[in-house]
Each structure stands twice: as C-alpha cells, then as structure tokens.
Amino acid sequence: MGEFVSLQVNDGVGTIRLDRPKMNALDKQVQEEIRAAALEATERDDVKAVVIWGGERVFAAGADVKEMAQMSHADMVKRSAGLQSSLGALTRIPKPVVAAINGYALGGGCELALCADVRFAADNAVLGQPEILLGIIPGAGGTQRLTRLVGPAKAKDLIFTGRFVKADEALAIGLVDRVVPADEVYTQAVEWASQFTTGATLALRAAKESIDRGIETDLETGLEIERQQFAALFATADRQIGMDSFVENGPGKAEFVGH
C-alpha cells in the first residue's frame, strides 16, 4: 500500500483509491503508486474486477504543475516514458476496469479515467484536457486514448481549446458511459464490477485483449487475434462448464471456476 494510492479488495472487487490531499494531483510518487497498485491488481487472483476512485470530492485534478514547472527538457525526456507507462499499467490490467468519477477529472486525471474500460461520472463531474493552457499537450495518453474514444474531431476540440466538459456533454460525446447522482457513483461502479466476480475469468481476459489489441490494427489482423483467443478458450475448464450448463439448464446459470 502506497502513501497516496492503495488497493482495497472486497468480495472480488479491487478498488484503486487515490487519496492525496487536496486534489489528488498526480506527481511522480502518485504515478508510481498507481503503477504498483495496477500490478498488484493484475497479479492477485482474488481481484476479479477493478474500480478506480479518487474519493467523494475529486477524481484527480491533473498533474502536479508545481513539480513539472521545475523540470527541464532533459528531465522530461527521462520522465515522460515513466509517466505514460505508470498510467498505462491500468490499461494492461487483464480484468474489467471502471473509473468512478466524482468532481474534477482534468489533464492527467482525465487521462487516468481514459485508462479504464468504462467510466461512470457524477452528475457534477467535470472533465477536460487543459494542458494547452499551460503551453503543452497531454502527455499520459490523452491525444491517443481520447481520440480513439470520441473520435478525432471531438478530441481536437477538447485538446485544442482546453475547455472543461460537464457530465451531460461528456455522456453525449461518449467520454463517459453513465451519469449518476454524485453519492451513487462509487456504489454503481462497484455494482458493475461485481457482476464479473463469478464470471469466466479467462474468457473476460481474452475478450479484453481481443478488443484492445484488435482496435489498434487492421481488420484481418484483428480477426486473427480474435480467432486465436477464441480457440484457446476451448482448453479451459470454464468453457466446458459454460457449455454443459447451457445445454442442461439454459443460459446464465453456469458456475465458473476461473480457469
């Protein structure tokens, strides 16, 4: 458990919790603690799905500008890869991941949310990539993940202007997937994640990898990725359990064992 980032596990759902007063600014230490929590969530068999949460007041207001302001070009050349890979560790968790967004998710905080598979936002949430207002651009995946999520025109609008997006617009453009009352964000995110705690673990992993790897390539290569993942699942116990249960009892009644 880090000083500002922890992994809390309850009934198969792991919560990666940011808690750095006052606004969960993502300095180097927080970035590396996020990486450590993501790796732990990846490795632990008792974690079946993950919620990323910054608490009831703020998700993450962005990078630690005071820290960055002191960095030279040479400093950032050394640090930029670690910045990207620390948040990128969340995308490589081979399990369903949901971001529960209360309050601000700006700059690096928005990039953090983009690393999840889905995003639940409070009705008072505010998202954005305001780096351009500091004379820089998003550097932790924003130009790439945001574009793949909402399309190039909308991504350029947000990144070029640095403007903030309220929850209703974020939902309309596909930046978030669900808007709920602020006091229900975390609960609903855990509820979504909980449905996978008894799921077919290896099939979920294969589905996520097929989608994430396939979207980065051409259709034929993506289909080959899918074919290999599909065929490999026929070596799993859960595939046999799932099919036998379907034949005997109909869909949705299988009791998977996770291998």
- CA dist., res. 189 & res. 157, Å (int): 28
- Catalytic residue from among 131, 140, 142, 189: 131
Q: What is the largest CA-CA distance in the chain?
A: 65
Residue appearing with tokens 């792991």:
14
- CA dist., res. 87 & res. 52, Å (int): 12
- CA dist., res. 49 & res. 195, Å (int): 9
- Catalytic residue from among 41, 49, 54, 111: 111
Handedness of CA 135, 85, 29, 114 (dihedral sign): positive
- Catalytic residue from among 103, 108, 142, 242: 108
- CA dist., res. 23 & res. 104, Å (int): 8
Alpha carbons within 13 A on the beta-carbon side of 62:
21
Distance (Å) of CA 12 to CA 15, 44, 46, 101, 152: 10, 10, 6, 21, 36
Look up 63 and say whether it is catalytic: yes
Look up 108 and say whether it is catalytic: yes
Look up 131 and say whether it is catalytic: yes
- Catalytic residue from among 38, 63, 99, 206: 63
Catalytic (active-site) positions? 63, 108, 111, 131
